Structure 1
Amino acid sequence: MPLRTITDVMVILERGGRILLAERKDTGYADGLLNLPSGKVDSEEENVLQAAAREVLEEVGVTVPLAALRIVHVMQYRNPEGEVRTGWFLTATHWEGEPYNAEEEKCAGLSWHQPDRLPDNTVPYNALGISHWIKDEPFSVHGWNEDRNERDV
């Protein structure tokens, strides 16, 4: 069977030493958990930078110029359901506008948190990426063999 990898983008918006997280609501997946503004690359015509900027605008209402996005971590991740995903974690050096809950039908609210003390209800995939970003580790693999150390570089 050919490999089908889902390409995810997760954007770390940092202000005053805190990062922005959104509480998932009525999505059917991880509802009640906190995650970064995020989503998937929607088509072959969209690259990860474009997808990241689009998702941030859709979810938290701010405009991030593509030149302001920096890739800080890439993760190959097999989720508990067995899907293989490639997660691109990006930071934004600046943005236009004030973040707000732009998707009230999918989000219960926004909150700012210290990245080294994430709430217990943070989506594990996001928490892993944030921890690698904090440690300045550009790449990791998670979800294939939990009995031994995964590759974190």
Structure 2
Amino acid sequence: MTGDHERGPHHGRFVVVPAAYVFLLREGDTGAEVLLQLRQNTGYMDDYWAAAAAGHVERGETAYAAAQREAAEEIGVSEIDLEFVTAMHRTRGAEPIDERIDFFFTATRWRGEPQVLEPTKCADLRWFPLEGLPEPVVPHELVVLDGIRSGWVPAYSSFGFAQD
């Protein structure tokens, strides 16, 4: 008799996909600003503004290391002084996608000038005041940005579930 452990890499269980997000922050002329990218050609939330750097956590990699790697790969910054903000358990309700766990970080110090390194996926990279974000912003990311702007983000949140 075969057990669940012999069925393959997911052992017959549902999958939760981890991702790491980096919001670079700075003080601008009118207050705090965040660096956002305009997504394109990704198949997910194209033409929405999103975290300047974000991506899946790879097998054997911590969310912190993934945030550092994604920032280097997507916007060319390194030595990021990351501050953990929140973890968000996310789904799209009735749509048949894997559930997600998103780890959000902010940073106010890093090395290098942010620039678009993946022009096929990023149409624009721009600083915006937290008090004047562009539209549209990826909805679950907007929840976190609203929390950063207000000064309070829960350590854990959920998004897209029936009880939200």
Match of 1:4 in 2: 15
Q: Answer with 1 or 2: which has the greater Rg.
A: 2
Q: CA RMSD in A?
A: 1.6
Q: How does 1:1-153 map to 2 (within 5 A)?
A: 2-16=13-27, 17-36=32-51, 37-43=53-59, 45-65=60-80, 68-79=81-92, 81=95, 82-134=97-149, 135-137=151-153, 138-145=155-162, 150=164
TM-superposed CA distance for 1:101, in Å, is 0.6
Q: Segments of 4+ in structure 1 off by > 4 A?
A: none
Shifted more, 132-141 versus 21-30: the winner is: 132-141
TM-superposed CA distance for 1:92, in Å, is 1.7
Alpha-carbon distance in 1 for matches of 2:108, 2:135? 27
Alpha-carbon distance in 2 for matches of 1:62, 1:79? 31
SS of aligned partner of 1:13:
strand
Alpha-carbon distance in 1 for matches of 2:152, 2:141? 15
Alpha-carbon distance in 2 for matches of 1:78, 1:101? 29
Structure 2 gaps of 5+ residues are: 1-11
SS of aligned partner of 2:158:
strand
SS of aligned partner of 1:99:
coil
TM-superposed CA distance for 1:121, in Å, is 1.1
TM-superposed CA distance for 1:49, in Å, is 0.6
Percentage of identical aligned residues? 32
Total equivalences in the alignment: 144
TM-superposed CA distance for 1:120, in Å, is 2.1
TM-superposed CA distance for 1:116, in Å, is 3.5
Output one character per residue of 1:69-98: Cα deviation in whole Å (capped at 9) or x when no partner.
111111111125343111111012410001
Alpha-carbon distance in 2 for matches of 1:78, 1:10? 16
Output one character per residue of 1:5-61: Cα deviation in whole Å (capped at 9) or x when no partner.
011111110012100000111112111111101111021x11001000000111111
